[in-house]
Amino acid sequence: MHKEFENALAAIEAKITNLNPQEIQQAFAYIPLDIFAELQLERPSAYPNIVQWLPEMPSADVQIDWTGSANHVLMDQTLSFIKTIISTYHEITSKPISSRTILDFGCGWGRIIRLLCKYVPVDKIYGVDPWSQSIEICQQTRVPGHLFISDYLPRTLPTPEGLKFDFIMAFSVFTHLSEKVTKICANTLRDHLSDNGILAITIRPIEYWDFALNLENYGFSHSYIDELKAAHKQKGFAFAPHNREKIEGEVTYGDTSMSLQYIKDNFIGLDIVRVEYNKVDSLQLIVFLQKA
Ligand SMILES: C[S@@+](CC[C@H](N)C(=O)[O-])C[C@H]1O[C@@H](n2cnc3c(N)ncnc32)[C@H](O)[C@@H]1O
């Protein structure tokens, strides 16, 4: 690590136990995000107080179960996503994200929140996920923020009543939802956005299905993939349900592709304001939306 960063970390190490959430967030201003990520992966013994403040990483198995890869490979994708959402949020709103209230919808094991807390004081970060195991892992590994279990068909959110979010992100969530749940989530998240709030979701493009064909553990046939691609071409939406329990009469979770036109036609009261993607994770398009 560069001496400059070691010096800055030593200064934070000496005072972090006496700082409040805002002061901690400000203290990390001179620590680049890549170093902040490395601290979480390596947990260097030279900085026991910082390491104690940081959440622990879950096992590689947990990371792979939720997100398909683990540790440095996954961290590189996460870093790209965080850099994209932070810079795009600033570019659209011209407001500092450090004073905003943030929701990570479908937060899983807290992959995004763990890095987001470099930019946003932890008392302004919220996370929800309907899978109780996700929230349990977050709690076991001390992911910061206010975390709640949500519904699989989330017509409301379990966050404090009346609380609106300046920025809501849903990474790799709309890439898994049935059409009915997609529409419910879009409506609920819109209703929880502040007036100029931004919603960032990721979606799979049609090209995802050719990639899925080669996923050994999926066992998709050529004809099934053709059907899914045909559905995407025809209505802009394709869903391959996983073998899961039905909720309100249908499987809500699987693999999903969606076109931008589908969002324009079906996400009522929301406008697309930016589209991004990163080459390290090229089958996740990042779509930024604002209330119409
Ligand atoms: C692929 S994981 C992504 C987790 C996290 N966003 C990340 O990027 O690391 C998908 C997450 O969506 C959650 N999920 C499933 N159905 C959901 C729903 N109806 N509403 C919100 N989240 C849901 C799952 O429990 C899981 O944690």
**pTM of the entire structure?**
0.96
Distance from the CA of 136 to the center of ligand 1, in angstroms?
14
Which stretch of 59-73, 98-112, 177-191 has the lowest confidence by average pLDDT?
Answer: 59-73
In three-state form (DSSP H/G/I as H, E/B as E, the rest C), the secondary structure along 197-240 is: EEEEEEECCCCHHHHHHCCCCCCCCHHHHHHHHHHHHHHCEEEE
Q: What pLDDT, in 10s, does the model give residues 168-200?
A: 999 999 999 999 999 999 999 999 999 999 999
| CA–CA gap between residue 75 and residue 256 (Å, rounded) | 23
Q: What pLDDT, in 10s, does the model give residues 248-271?
A: 999 999 999 999 999 999 999 999
Distance from the CA of 156 to the center of ligand 1, in angstroms?
16
Asked if 198 contacts 289 with a C-beta cutoff of 8 angstroms, the reply is: yes
- 58 Cβ closer than 6 Å to some ligand 1 atom: no
Q: What pLDDT, in 10s, does the model give residues 241-250?
A: 999 999 999 9
Give the model's pLDDT for residue 118.
94
Give the model's pLDDT for residue 231.
98
pLDDT over 80 (residue 56): yes
pLDDT over 80 (residue 215): yes
pLDDT band at 220 (very low <50, low <70, confident <90, very high): confident
Long-range contacts of 262-267 (CB under 8 A, 24+ apart): 262/235, 262/236, 262/237, 263/203, 263/287, 263/289, 265/236, 266/182, 266/183, 266/186, 266/237, 267/183, 267/186, 267/190
pLDDT band at 68 (very low <50, low <70, confident <90, very high): confident
Domains of the chain and any CATH numbers: 3-53 (no CATH), 60-291 (3.40.50.150)
pLDDT over 90 (residue 60): yes
Q: Which one of 65, 176, 184 would you pick to mutate in the ligand 1 pocket, going by the greatest count of ligand atoms within 8 A of its CB? A: 176
Helix, strand, coil percentages, rounded to 5, for the chain: 45, 20, 35
